[in-house]
Amino acid sequence: MQVRILIVSTLTFLAGELGAQTDFATLDRLNYQFYINKDYKSLQRTAKELLKQGNDYYYLRMRMGILAYENQRYAKAFENFTRAKQQNPFDTITNEYLYYSYYFAGRAADAKKFLRSIPDAQKNNHLKTLSLTEDPELVAGYTCMGYDVKKYQTNPLNYEAIENLSVFNASLTFNFTEQARGTLLYTNTRKTATFYSSSTPAGEFGTYIQNQFYFRYKRILSTGCDISGYTHWVFFTNQNSTGAYGRRGSANSLSAELLYGIGLSYSGWYVRTNLNAYYSNFAKSNQLATECSLSIFPFSNLNLYSTLSGLYQYDDSWGNTYQLNLDLGFKVFKYLWVESGAMAGNSFLYSRSFGSVLNNSFIIPATNIYGSVIIPTRKISIRLGGSYSVINNYSWDLESNIKTSKIVLNSFGVNASLTIKIQ
């Protein structure tokens, strides 16, 4: 214990004497001691003084890079390891650190792109065992929501008194090539409600079933940048006892609605952005929309992040609508993450997340508060969450394109999903 106190006291004294003792040998020795003691802040301070004097060398950059990496400051780690590699191109350990700086910052595509750029002669034994493409992912999820119910004795317009809604989805993300990824998604929606219309103004109780199919193709343009094209198809059957989100039709007639879109994304160390636009033809109308998001990672890792996203949609029948989301995520400890957020808007026909999340119900989710806990492991991730929504329910005149008789209702939901990486 006394020896430790002496070492700490000596280092503190030497740090205070930097202004007086600025020769290279003293600063290098002090910097190395801070590295051995894992004192990241003091190491940065002495390194800054060494660099100011023009002393930029391999071992200094390695010390700075390793401590930044161990403190999960991956942007700083990448910067220093890149410089160390320039100073010693034959050292393969820097390539491994550069790869994992990308990977643990949540930039798996960039990590694999970097791995492909390394000649085999410059890969150590560990890097040679890694796949050159991202791992395929299989995701299965389930959501169940219960609603306040407001029924009418009679309503000649289209109206839904929803009791509960459940959604099952399953997706597979896979590799087309080393530069391109594909995503296939299937969603099954079941809604139990009393449906009103001009043909059944007294209401008719039934269960509505809808199937959705989604496909996205994503290609890397450069490090951190990619472009996506996607389509989403919705299929439902109108039956005598079932209303399709308020729409009536002849018995057993198959109907389809669709969406086409394109998107661009950028993933940096501290900032990540998405921008996409789409066309859709939901509810016998036509929509043009744009969606954008901005995510901030203040420490260049996944331990803390926030996302602001927005959607603006033009509809040639029902007018323009919008949605805004604010999300916050953070790490509690290694195997527990938390995400929460809130949404506000007035859009009943919308698509989010490059078209993968789609809502074409006549129920308008005006406000939504949600949260999830995430249990991640190397191959499996489990997400458990809940939500509370304020729902605006209307009676819809589909001939005049007018919504009337606004009712404010509540909804509570729970959800769970399982993600498996196929290695």
> Among candidates 47, 55, 52, 53, which has minimal Cα distance to 76?
47
What is the CA angle 180-109-342, rounded to 5?
105
- The fold of 137-421 is Porin (2.40.160)
- The number of beta carbons lying within 10 Å of the beta carbon of residue 95 is 21
CB 386 within 8 A of CB 412: yes
Q: Which residues of the chain have pLDDT under 50?
A: 1-3, 5-11, 13-20, 239-252
User: Which pLDDT does position 248 carry in this prediction?
Assistant: 38
CB 140 within 8 A of CB 78: no
Q: Helices 93-104 and 74-87 meet at what angle, rounded to 10?
A: 160
User: Which pLDDT does position 256 carry in this prediction?
Assistant: 81
User: Which pLDDT does position 190 carry in this prediction?
Assistant: 93
User: Which pLDDT does position 254 carry in this prediction?
Assistant: 58
Are both 2-128 and 137-421 of the same fold?
no
Residues 6+ apart with CB under 8 A from 12: none
User: Which pLDDT does position 283 carry in this prediction?
Assistant: 82
User: Which pLDDT does position 236 carry in this prediction?
Assistant: 73
User: Which pLDDT does position 237 carry in this prediction?
Assistant: 60
User: Which pLDDT does position 284 carry in this prediction?
Assistant: 81
Domains of the chain by residue range: 2-128, 137-421
Whole-angstrom distance, CA of residue 249 vs CA of residue 239: 7
> Among candidates 76, 24, 30, 26, which has minimal Cα distance to 54?
24
Whole-angstrom distance, CA of residue 170 vs CA of residue 118: 35
User: Which pLDDT does position 162 carry in this prediction?
Assistant: 95
CATH of 2-128 among 3.30.1330.90, 1.20.1340.10, 1.20.120.430, 1.25.40.10: 1.25.40.10
Which region, left, alpha or beta, applies to residue 32 given φ > 0 means left and ψ of -120 to 50 means alpha? alpha
For the chain, percent of residues with pLDDT exceeding 70: 90
User: Which pLDDT does position 9 carry in this prediction?
Assistant: 46
Whole-angstrom distance, CA of residue 168 vs CA of residue 166: 7
